[in-house]
Chain A
Amino acid sequence: GAGVSQSPSNKVTEKGKDVELRCDPISGHTALYWYRQSLGQGLEFLIYFQGNSAPDKSGLPSDRFSAERTGGSVSTLTIQRTQQEDSAVYLCASSSRGGSTEAFFGQGTRLTVV
């Protein structure tokens, strides 16, 4: 597709369940980011993939959060044993290599844990 695609757009889950959020970046983009945005707040960095390098996982809030990127393209963010405080919009972005290139964002997945 032409832009970053995220699915699902909305997800309601029960506390304690696992969820998987998907991100399909712009074709050819080597960098992929996941951010979390709570209501009315800024973007909290979660994890960053760049090409074949080891991902920067420094923003993952707990070991319940993990992400993978298969074949340098699609990424899945997994949250295990969801808690109510995990409720937020999860944004994915991708960019091509190059320091001046901006990141292009998907529309996000709104996760609600009830």
Chain B
Amino acid sequence: AQKITQTQPGMFVQEKEAVTLDCTYDTSDPSYGLFWYKQPSSGEMIFLIYQGSYDQQNATEGRYSLNFQKARKSANLVISASQLGDSAMYFCAMREGAGGYNKLIFGAGTRLAVHP
């Protein structure tokens, strides 16, 4: 079974608007961490934001926020005020268990195109 599911192969958004990239996950472990990465066309993997399963509040990092809905096992990334430089692949990832002893598993990714 897929551990991380990203149902949107591609998304586009108008510059300066907000966009939500979907991510659902599957785990029976009560302790886990969720990550979002950005991969521009250059190929580098850039860490964006982290959400722990016990965190009470949604994570935010600048224009990035994570809409964490634990009961739905959903961890959507919201990018506010989109910029042309946001055009890239975006990957959701999960690490099960506490203490960082387990591997990081990635979803298939969503390609975001920001239009001027």
Contacts and interface: CB of A to CB of B under 8 A. Distances in A.
A41 B98 contact: no
Interface string A94-108: 011111111111011
Determine the interface band of chain A, counting residues with CB < 8 A from chain B: 20 to 34
A59 to B, nearest CB: 8
B81 to A, nearest CB: 23
A99 B106 contact: no
Main secondary structure of the interface of B (DSSP, over half): loop
A99 to B, nearest CB: 5
Nearest to A3: B44
Interface string A56-91: 100100000000000000000000000000000101
Interface of A: 31, 33, 35, 41-43, 45, 48, 50, 53, 56, 59, 89, 91, 93, 95-105, 107-108
**Nearest 5 pairs of A and B residues by beta carbon:** A105-B45, A48-B103, A42-B108, A102-B47, A43-B106
